[in-house]
A = this chain, B = another copy of it.
Amino acid sequence: MTPTAFIVLGLLERLGPASPYEVKQQATATLGNFWSTPHSQIYRTTEGLAAAGLLSVRAETTPGGRGRTVYALTREGRAALTAERRHTAADLPELRDPALLRLYFGADPAPLAVEQLAAHRRQLAAYEARRAQDDGAEPRGPWLTLRAGIGHEREWIKFWRDLAGGPDGQPRQVAGSDG
């Protein structure tokens, strides 16, 4: 199962029957932080899952007279979701950071680092604001992934801060803070 399919199934479980549009809204609102998906992809995926029998389709007409398509989990869909949750196979993702690529190929570290540092600080602030909002929230999953995000942002900040240098633009530290 592709990640996008898993996302669609998982969100439909939470939402109950919903249109791809609603799924997309939910995706953006909740896990947009560590895994975004464009709406065109959501539409394709709901179609595909319906064709595979994991979702049921219902054509609706809105009060306004406009058509829309509502999908819901079938029994097979729920089973697939459960199965996917039980997978423990570990294929590690790559960092795939364009900034890292530039660094690798000889970009001047300091100016790059200044921008990266600022961006990661903003991201960390956003994460922490969210965590403050739903500290201790149930279910646990989202809270844990948020924690992962925060940890990695902090790691990035450490990394780029070392390269950003002081006011004179010199690196403050290059040797690894090992141990």
**A: which residues have CB within 8 A of B?**
3, 6-7, 10, 13, 31, 33-36, 81, 84-109, 111-112, 114-116, 118-120, 123, 139-142, 144-145, 147-152, 154-155, 158-159, 163, 174, 176
Contact = CB atoms under 8 A, between A and B. Distances in A.
Contacts of A151: 155, 158-159
Contacts of A142: 104
A124 to B, nearest CB: 10
Given A120-B92, A144-B109, A155-B152, A84 B97 contact: no
Contacts of A152: 95, 152, 155
Nearest to A105: B10
B99 A36 contact: no
A6 B102 CA distance: 8
Contacts of A103: 141, 144-145
